[in-house]
Amino acid sequence: MARPVFIAASVLAAAIAIPTLVMGQQTRGYLPDGSLDMTRILPPAPLKGDARYENDRRVFKDTRHWLGTPRGDLATRDVALGVNAMAEAFSCSLGIKLDPNKAPKLVKLITMAGSTANAQSRAAKEYFKRLRPFQIDEGKTCQPPEDLKGSYDYPSGHTTWGWTWALILANLAPDRATAILSRGRAYGESRVVCGVHNYSAIEAGRITASGTYAAELGQPEFQADLAAARAELAALRADPSAPKPEKCDAEASLVAIPIL
């Protein structure tokens, strides 16, 4: 097995697991247990020797050069999964400095939706048991491999979580949808830049988030919470605290860079 090399950063002390608590309460999801099975929806994980497997290996090797660049630094910041970190990650694309403390209804909505999607992601990981790229080939990562011990590759939980944020925020602020969804796409790609997920896992993460979101749209509780979050966000956007333009311009430039 290849021995990975990693780049340390202070941000790596941030939480690695998707939060299970919101406002001090245990997070639950919107869908009834057993109503969705992502192991039957996702395409099978790549197998050794097939075309997708070899493409994943090529992508891992071809993207190691990003570490140590501004795009690599963005990928390192995107390791953090907490609500505060996610709000900051999407602030520029949303056009306001999003403060979770001022948006409890939005936080509830996204975290409950994310709880369901994360459960689907975990189940699929255990089902497919796909190795991460640094477990197959040697290469630098932006995150210590021991942080990911016991966690499989496919689908990417970070991508599932980030795309859940992007889908919901784009629904709530459709005039900002292009920027929001672009940031969501880049958030998933950061896991490839970081070297901790295969490209196929990013694609599977988006399917996991999108499939869960589509099913949740039919739930009355989800629709009620969506409406409440829409009103809350509209009020925040009416009197916004704007993020720094230079920061947002720099981020937009990085988001626009093709990683392959």
Whether 145 contacts 103, CB under 8 Å = no
Tell me how far apart the alpha carbons of residues 233 and 226 are, in angstroms, rounded to a whole number.
10
Q: Would the pTM of this model clear 0.85, i.e. be above it?
A: yes
pLDDT tens, residue order, the chain (260 aa): 444 444 443 333 333 345 443 333 447 899 999 999 999 999 999 999 999 999 999 999 999 999 999 999 999 999 999 999 999 999 999 999 999 999 999 999 999 999 999 999 999 999 999 999 999 999 999 999 999 999 999 999 999 999 999 999 999 999 999 999 999 999 999 999 999 999 999 999 999 999 999 999 999 999 999 999 999 999 999 998 999 999 999 999 999 999 99
Tell me whether the omega of the peptide bond preceding residue 155 falls within 30 degrees of 0, making it cis. Answer: yes
Residue type, 214: A
pLDDT, residue 230, reads 99
Residue labelled with tokens 């299970």: 20
Complete DSSP assignment for 14-76:
S--SPP-EETTEE---SSPTTS--HHHHSPPPP-TTSHHHHHHHHHHHHTGGGTTSHHHHHHH
pLDDT, residue 258, reads 98
pLDDT, residue 163, reads 99
Question: H or E stretch including 5?
Answer: strand 5-6
Q: Is 216 exposed, middle or buried (0-12, 13-18, 19+ CB in 10 A)?
A: buried
Tell me how far apart the alpha carbons of residues 140 and 155 are, in angstroms, rounded to a whole number.
21
Tell me how far apart the alpha carbons of residues 151 and 18 are, in angstroms, rounded to a whole number.
13
Report the number of secondary-structure helices (H) and strands (E) in the chain.
10, 4
pLDDT, residue 22, reads 39
CATH code, 52-256: 1.20.144.10
Residue labelled with tokens 């639950």: 28
Complete DSSP assignment for 129-160:
-PPPGGGTS--EESS-GGGGTT---SS-HHHH
Tell me how far apart the alpha carbons of residues 201 and 108 are, in angstroms, rounded to a whole number.
27
21 - beta bridge partners?
Answer: 26
